[in-house]
Structure 1
Amino acid sequence: MNWSHHLIILPILLPLITAASLIPLDERNRTLKGVIGFASTMVVFLVGIFLMRVAASTEGESGASVYLLGNWPAPFGIVLVLDRLSALMLVLTSVLALATQVFSMAKWHRAGYHFHSLFQLMLAGLNGAFLTGDLFNLFVFFEMMLAASYGLLLHGSGPMRVKAGLHYIAVNLAASSLFLIGVSLIYGATGTLNMADLALKISAIGPERRMLMEAGAALLGIAFLVKAGMWPLGFWLPATYSAATPPVAAIFAILTKVGIYIILRLSMLLFGSDAGASLGFGQAVLLYGGLLTIGFGAIGVLASQAMGRLAGYCVLVSSGTLMAAIGLGNGAVIGGALFYLVSSTLTICAFFLLIELVERARDAGADVLAVTMEAYGDVDENEEEKEGGVAVPGTMAVLGLCFCTCAILLSGLPPLSGFLAKFAMLHGLFNPGSFGGDAPVSGPEWTYTALLILSGLAAMIAMNRVGIRTFWTSIEGTIPRVFLIEITPVLLLLVACLFLSLQAGPAMRYMDATAKSLGEPQNYIGRVMSAPRAGTAGGQ
């Protein structure tokens, strides 16, 4: 053990300290609060990059590093586990947090109290959920994240926001209750909540206790699927995300991925090849539920007139794609799904920020009026007789370019990362290679392929329709006032997607190695259960 090993706890500890230190500061010093919060997140981002390199440095092994809090060995003490997957989620969360914090400092952090403290508290919960190695502390970090998200969603007030916030709180409190009941049932059946220890004990428990354990796992899964937005459990998501302030909606893009992360982690670890009679538990639910979610999200995308709801349904399509990929049980698809997770989350975050800038000059009823004019053919008869072009102001040109980039990414069109991610998933589906045999492609796999393509087509149609109304035939004709501090985060997120496209080879190698390590949980289990205590042999 050396000093760098202690960095594993920093992504949790630093946001907690920052959140507590910001509370006593006067709310009139919001800029100072924002700078301190941004600096804290930047440090977490740099630590995340370092931890990702550490996780990827061990060739041929899982690369998992275990941190024993209180120096108690597993399964008796709290453990934090760093591997390729958790390091990836730490870096992704930090990138989104940096962009949304910068955007919020233009004006949105002044819309309510303690924005930056709540933001840091949510980051601590997110990072803790990605790093924890036992279910009880997963519940603790999950609740920390949710408690902060309640305040952030209500940030800015307004009747629509309060209504959506109260619905969000009610749904997530119900999910938290199911989470706690599920954890209790699992502990009653197995006598442990450490994930690695659970993976060891599941195959050996008897039929009576197995039923209790699987009932607990099912309740746990429902709680995570509510957060991930599976149909019909995700009915609350589009309205809630569209009602939130732009920076809050943007950072909420990662919250659904918390549910996806936990489902992927537990399904591969607890119900993999060594699970005995529980092999593949819940896999069919994930597959068919994910397919239904993709279909529901695609219909919602086509039906949406407001861009906020359109983005909310894009979140559902993204979640459904990932859930169905996990449910397929094909390790070759998981690597492409992780690539898709990163690309879609960055894109949706940028889109939520962009929406506020684009709609700044639009009237609230512009979408309804545009639909009415389109339906009744109420257009200027002399429009076709007009000659010459229309000068495009610089602001609208930049916003239009960003919008087109988001449209390409959400639709999965080449050559950007959205297309590469879908191509990687389909390649893994039809060419499993070392992850699977030569079994023919099944009906659900063909359905997944069709929905993957059709959902991209739906996104392309919807984005084209909205883009034409906004940039080409805008009723208002006014140019929004956009500050550099607002457009820069959007550009940086889209540049990150471009960088991901250019570095698709190294990125896919990392994702495939991550999928391979998830498919071999013995390395993870061995690292956790044999982690040396400080001051003993192998420790310091």
Structure 2
Amino acid sequence: MTGTTTPLVEHLAILPVLLPLAVGAFMLLFDERRRLFKMVLSLATVLALLIIAITLIVMVNMPSGDRWSTIFVYPLGNWPPPFGIVLVVDRLAAMMLLLTALLGSATLLFALARWHKAGPRFYTLFLLLLTGLNGAFLTGDLFNLFVFFEILLAASYGLVLHGSGTARVRAGLHYIPINLVASSLFLIGVAVIYGVTGTLNMADLSRIVPTLDGQARVLMEAGAAVLGIAFLVKAGMWPLSFWLPTTYAAACAPIAAMFAIMTKVGVYVILRLFLLCFGDEAGASEEFGALWLYYGGMATIAFGAIGVLASQSMQRLGGYAVLVSSGTLLAAIGTGNSAVISGALYYMATSTLAISAYFLLVELIERGQAAGADVLAVTLEIFGDPEEDIEDEDEEVGVAIPATIAVLGGAFVACTALLAGLPPLSGFIAKFAMLSALINEAGDIPASHWAFVVLLMLSGLGTLIAMTRNGIRTLWVPAENEIPRVRAIEAIPVAGLLFLCAAMTVAGGPTMRYMEATAQILYWPREYAREVLGSGPTSPGRSQTTHPITGGTP
């Protein structure tokens, strides 16, 4: 978007950070007796964030003349980069903001049924989590990335323990120290990078890295490796993912659903920094760490698929499904192929929505079950049920399926198809885009690419088998379980997330074109640096456009 902008539009870039932070802090002034007031204020805030995210994604996708995409740079205090703090809104950041707002709206609405009462300061912690997520996606420098990283982690510590219970406390005692260690590694990596380059601005780093040689380049790569480990812990790459399934299974349903995007923070940062600092224009550091991402991602897919098959509880199955998603994205980044990355971005969106819907749905399905029903079902499957040998002469034939079970079962089938990547839904489109890009690469296809193809297919098959098995045990076999009571405020978020996945299927063409353009722009770090750094001080909200695409891939 070019030309003169209104004052409101000029400051849209900072509102996703400022709005939830201000409202969350304001609500600390009121105790838990004002829960209705907090609920209305939180809903209004999340709805405003959704509108802002939609506006930003329209603006960055708006062509102007011979220019077809826009980057918005917001220098705080009007200090010129790289000396001042900047927020940057491009296609990738806008997409992640929209995804965060959609998940925030769905999970908050679901929590209003009962989970918001399970612990104190729920609304403040939830809005602080949104603040940290939005800030991490918008920031243009590593130091403020650390600041927003700590904000979202601090909020997540409280949300992991929300609802109390032994399992949540045990998971929190693992989750908190692991992330504290990751934060320490983050600081060490940032310190080394700053000591070598003298800057933490991401755009400025993309200019400096190609000029480094000798010891400076070695130190830079060492700092980047330490920083990468911190984010790979958050992304859940094997073997750093041991904490994730337990934590996600122990968290209450809306928090586990919201945490589905927290692993994507690590993936987002790795994708951003890898292509900015170690892409095709990085000189001697080109593709540094690519093999680690590629093979580590494939190992994560294999580990996650095995975990999905081995899971006896539906919550743990969801945690391992998160690992399959993260591993797929990390391996796609490691390929260094823009067409694969465009498919991976599509996969990131659809898998995050589907996994969030799954976590919410599991809570509704298991509401009518007794504790330990999953383990009991496995035991009966292995050793048999002695009561099955007793013939019941009064057994009813043709018993109608209750409407609630039918609706929950239909939603579960939709989640299964999405996570397994069955046609014609968006999960299949995303995997097909990645696989076709790998197979259609020029020249001989390396054996590692075929391994990636096989792993993607086997992980989908494993997910299909595991979820079908769990669905049969939970929804179609037991007759003694009570029919769960599901309120409309709980069913609407699940239906909404699944509808968004269906909409991505119907609008697959426009959505994929957006992802392809996003991936291509990521491969122009020099243009990103030129637009962000400019030639001098900029005014808030100054719109800047990327290099026009003339055809082909970088």
TM-score range with shorter-chain normalisation?
over 0.9
- C-alpha contact 1:363 1:476 (8 A) present in aligned 2: no
The change in CA–CA distance for 1:383 and 1:406 in structure 2 (over 3 A counts) is farther
- Amino acid corresponding to residue 448 of structure 1 in structure 2: F
Partner of 2:550: none
Partner of 2:422: 413
What SS class does the counterpart of residue 260 from structure 2 fall into?
helix
Residues of 1 paired with 2:241 and 2:430: CA distance?
Answer: 24
Indicate whether 1:48 and 2:57 are aligned: no
Indicate whether 1:72 and 2:79 are aligned: yes
Partner of 2:347: 340
Q: What does residue range 338-417 of structure 1 map to in structure 2 within 5 Å?
A: 338-378=345-385, 380-381=388-389, 388-417=397-426
- C-alpha contact 2:81 2:537 (8 A) present in aligned 1: no
- C-alpha contact 1:189 1:209 (8 A) present in aligned 2: yes
| Alpha-carbon distance, 1:387 to partner | 6.9
Q: What does residue range 190-229 of structure 1 map to in structure 2 within 5 Å?
A: 190-229=197-236
- Amino acid corresponding to residue 35 of structure 1 in structure 2: V
- C-alpha contact 1:100 1:250 (8 A) present in aligned 2: yes
- C-alpha contact 1:271 1:279 (8 A) present in aligned 2: yes
Q: 1:503 aligns with which of 501, 507, 514?
A: 507
Q: 1:448 aligns with which of 433, 452, 455?
A: 452
| Alpha-carbon distance, 1:62 to partner | 5.3
- C-alpha contact 2:61 2:68 (8 A) present in aligned 1: no
- Amino acid corresponding to residue 405 of structure 1 in structure 2: A
What SS class does the counterpart of residue 64 from structure 1 fall into?
strand
- Amino acid corresponding to residue 465 of structure 1 in structure 2: R
- C-alpha contact 1:62 1:517 (8 A) present in aligned 2: no
| Alpha-carbon distance, 1:63 to partner | 2.2
Give the paired residue count: 533
Partner of 1:435: none
Residues of 2 paired with 1:115 and 1:155: CA distance?
Answer: 8
| Alpha-carbon distance, 1:376 to partner | 1.8
- C-alpha contact 1:61 1:517 (8 A) present in aligned 2: no
| Alpha-carbon distance, 1:29 to partner | 2.2
What SS class does the counterpart of residue 8 from structure 1 fall into?
coil
Partner of 1:521: 525
**Larger deviation: 317-326 or 55-64?**
55-64
Residues of 1 paired with 2:383 and 2:490: CA distance?
Answer: 37
**Larger deviation: 22-31 or 220-229?**
22-31
Residues of 1 paired with 2:431 and 2:539: CA distance?
Answer: 48
Residues of 1 paired with 2:347 and 2:173: CA distance?
Answer: 31
Indicate whether 1:426 and 2:424 are aligned: no
- C-alpha contact 2:351 2:418 (8 A) present in aligned 1: yes
- Amino acid corresponding to residue 455 of structure 2 in structure 1: L
What SS class does the counterpart of residue 81 from structure 1 fall into?
strand
The change in CA–CA distance for 1:383 and 1:83 in structure 2 (over 3 A counts) is farther
Question: Cα deviation per residue 1:87-121 (whole Å; 9 max; x = unaligned)?
Answer: 00000000000000001111101011100101101
**Larger deviation: 157-166 or 255-264?**
157-166
The percentage of counterpart residues that share the same residue type is: 58
What SS class does the counterpart of residue 380 from structure 1 fall into?
helix
What SS class does the counterpart of residue 343 from structure 1 fall into?
helix
| Alpha-carbon distance, 1:532 to partner | 5.4
| Alpha-carbon distance, 1:383 to partner | 7.0
- Amino acid corresponding to residue 411 of structure 1 in structure 2: A
Partner of 2:35: 30
The change in CA–CA distance for 1:509 and 1:398 in structure 2 (over 3 A counts) is same
Question: Cα deviation per residue 1:42-91 (whole Å; 9 max; x = unaligned)?
Answer: 11111111111111124656521111101011100001111000000000
- C-alpha contact 1:361 1:476 (8 A) present in aligned 2: no
Question: Cα deviation per residue 1:314-361 (whole Å; 9 max; x = unaligned)?
Answer: 000000000000011111101110000000000000000011110001
Residues of 1 paired with 2:172 and 2:368: CA distance?
Answer: 26
- Amino acid corresponding to residue 388 of structure 2 in structure 1: D
* Greater relative contact order (CA < 8 Å, ≥ 6 in sequence): 2
Q: 1:489 aligns with which of 470, 489, 493?
A: 493
- C-alpha contact 1:358 1:399 (8 A) present in aligned 2: yes
Residues of 1 paired with 2:241 and 2:361: CA distance?
Answer: 24
| Alpha-carbon distance, 1:135 to partner | 0.5
Residues of 1 paired with 2:284 and 2:290: CA distance?
Answer: 14
What SS class does the counterpart of residue 172 from structure 2 fall into?
helix
Q: What does residue range 240-319 of structure 1 map to in structure 2 within 5 Å?
A: 240-319=247-326
**Larger deviation: 358-367 or 371-380?**
371-380
Unaligned runs of 5+ in 2: 544-554
Question: Cα deviation per residue 1:240-291 (whole Å; 9 max; x = unaligned)?
Answer: 0000011110100000000000000001111011111100011000000000
| Alpha-carbon distance, 1:31 to partner | 2.7
Q: 2:461 aligns with which of 446, 457, 461?
A: 457
Residues of 2 paired with 1:72 and 1:451: CA distance?
Answer: 48
- Amino acid corresponding to residue 54 of structure 1 in structure 2: M
TM-score, normalised to structure 1, is 0.96
What SS class does the counterpart of residue 74 from structure 2 fall into?
strand
Indicate whether 1:182 and 2:186 are aligned: no
Partner of 1:111: 118
The change in CA–CA distance for 1:228 and 1:535 in structure 2 (over 3 A counts) is closer
The change in CA–CA distance for 1:208 and 1:43 in structure 2 (over 3 A counts) is same
Unaligned runs of 5+ in 1: 433-437
What SS class does the counterpart of residue 322 from structure 1 fall into?
helix
| Alpha-carbon distance, 1:373 to partner | 1.4
Q: 1:140 aligns with which of 147, 151, 157?
A: 147
The change in CA–CA distance for 1:531 and 1:43 in structure 2 (over 3 A counts) is farther
Residues of 2 paired with 1:213 and 1:270: CA distance?
Answer: 10
What SS class does the counterpart of residue 11 from structure 2 fall into?
helix
What SS class does the counterpart of residue 419 from structure 1 fall into?
helix
Residues of 2 paired with 1:49 and 1:301: CA distance?
Answer: 34
TM-score, normalised to structure 2, is 0.94
- C-alpha contact 1:260 1:322 (8 A) present in aligned 2: yes
Residues of 2 paired with 1:132 and 1:300: CA distance?
Answer: 35
Residues of 2 paired with 1:31 and 1:412: CA distance?
Answer: 41
| Alpha-carbon distance, 1:474 to partner | 1.5
Residues of 2 paired with 1:10 and 1:485: CA distance?
Answer: 27
- C-alpha contact 1:11 1:47 (8 A) present in aligned 2: yes
Question: Cα deviation per residue 1:289-325 (whole Å; 9 max; x = unaligned)?
Answer: 0000000000000000100000000000000000000
Partner of 2:552: none
| Alpha-carbon distance, 1:478 to partner | 1.5
